[in-house]
Amino acid sequence: MAAFRTVSSVRGVLRACSETSFPRLDEFTRKLSCTIGRFQLAEGESDTAQFPGAKSGYTSNLKFMRPDGFQRFPIYQVLNKQGELIDPSQDPKLDDDVILKMYKIMTTTSHMDTIMYESQRHGLISFYMTNFGEEGTHVGSAAALDPKDLIWGQYREAGVLMWRGFPLDKFMAQCYGNDADLGRGRQMPVHYGCRDLNFVTISSTLATQMPQAVGSAYAIKRTGQDRCVVCYFGDGAASEGDSHAGFNFSATLDVPIIFFCRNNGYAISTPTHEQYRGDGIASRGAGYGIVTVRVDGNDAFAVYNAVKEARRIAVKESRPVLIEAMTYRIGHHSTSDDSSAYRSVDEVHHWDKQDNPIRRLRNYMMNRKLWDKEKEEAWMEEVRATVLKTFNKSERTLRPSPSTIFEDVYDEMPDRLYGQMREMEQHVGRYKDNYPVKRYKKIK
């Protein structure tokens, strides 16, 4: 304290001197006063540490912070299981057409999953991943976004792409890798992408899209565009190192991105209690300095409200937001998985029959008289017929010409690559009886 009293006395002398005409003393006084001010700030906030790494209070009580001592993130909910509004003030007041679109896309996705899953089981495609139980996260989030927002998906967001207008035949063409596939048969099934709909092609490798999404959000910030990036991932991807890199970069760079975590209980066969000890994924957002909320992923309205506000924060405040949507993966992880090996049939049955997002929204629609039993039966018959018709068309469509594997690598094909293409064409032409050439378009 003596040092601070001395500083105060020096300031009094300097103030008196500054009233005279000593040359350059005014500027010297101003600079020294600023320095003194910083000392006085420290004196006035003696209970607050000013370390560069953290600003926190001091205590003489040795107390370790244990994870059980923190309040858990609550789960935001708008509709209960019966499809009733819990708090009318939280009603998003969506137009009836929007609600009907939500329901029809959720059920269309479900029917597509059923048909394509069986298609893989019959050996018609090599691989498939269903979206059963997570449809509410798709339509709730997609409806709240702007079409120009850039989406980085993982591989269980088919409903998001369908909401933006990606047609059934393109979904199935991608899974079959036929000539109608935008990716020309070069990706595994369910690895969708569409430049026109601002949906980046999905990558198999877990969590690689997270730092990439942050990079694109930084580019959007630098160019001043009125849009944001949405990065979808699962609780398993959140265990990868790339997720932490993405979170930290987004917070320190203040980029307009929404991290949307589908916490469906399992990372393939690993349940969440074996993945982490903390309070889910939401607690990580707080740790990284990211605005965070946890929502009921089986409640499409809760997801809509959360994403709508998250988008406002991301775009208007240029900062990241983390949404953890609590849901349940009713289907197997993929066609390469048998979930009965690590969870009970009763557990799956409970979530499928008691808390299915499709059922919850249907209950709401029936409560509002927007839907009834007759409409339900007619729609289910219509959507099943549409999916089957598209499926049959995709199955009959030829696959791309083998020559296309040499294209799109260079703007102009170099001679060495052209030579390889010609060699392949001659080889297949000579031994065509050994190749399923009838299933492909003719070699150019």
Residue of 191, 333, 339, 394 with catalytic role: 333
Residue of 9, 56, 126, 204 with catalytic role: 204
Cα 15 to chain centroid, rounded: 59
Element (H, E) at 199: strand 199-200
Is residue 229 within 8 A of residue 152, CB to CB? The reply is yes
Please list the helix, strand and coil fractions of the chain in percent, rounded to the nearest 5, in that order. 50, 10, 40
Is residue 422 within 8 A of residue 205, CB to CB? The reply is no
C-alpha–C-alpha distance, residues 425 and 54, integer Å:
65
* Active site (annotated) includes residue 333: yes
Is residue 261 within 8 A of residue 246, CB to CB? The reply is no
Residue of 141, 334, 339, 394 with catalytic role: 334
Rg, the chain, Cα only = 29
- Helix ranges, 19-72 (H): 25-44
Q: Which amino acid is at 391?
A: F
- Helix ranges, 178-299 (H): 209-223, 241-253, 272-275, 282-287
Q: Which amino acid is at 94?
A: L
Residue of 27, 43, 84, 118 with catalytic role: 118
Q: Which amino acid is at 161?
A: L
- Picking from 404, 406, 422, 410, the residue whose alpha carbon sits closest to that of residue 181 is 404
Is residue 311 within 8 A of residue 91, CB to CB? The reply is no
325 Cβ contact list (under 8 Å, min separation 6): 137, 141, 260, 261, 262, 263, 294, 295, 296, 297, 303
* Active site (annotated) includes residue 334: yes
| First-residue to last-residue Cα distance in the chain | 88
Is residue 100 within 8 A of residue 379, CB to CB? The reply is no
Catalytic (active-site) positions: 118, 204, 333-334
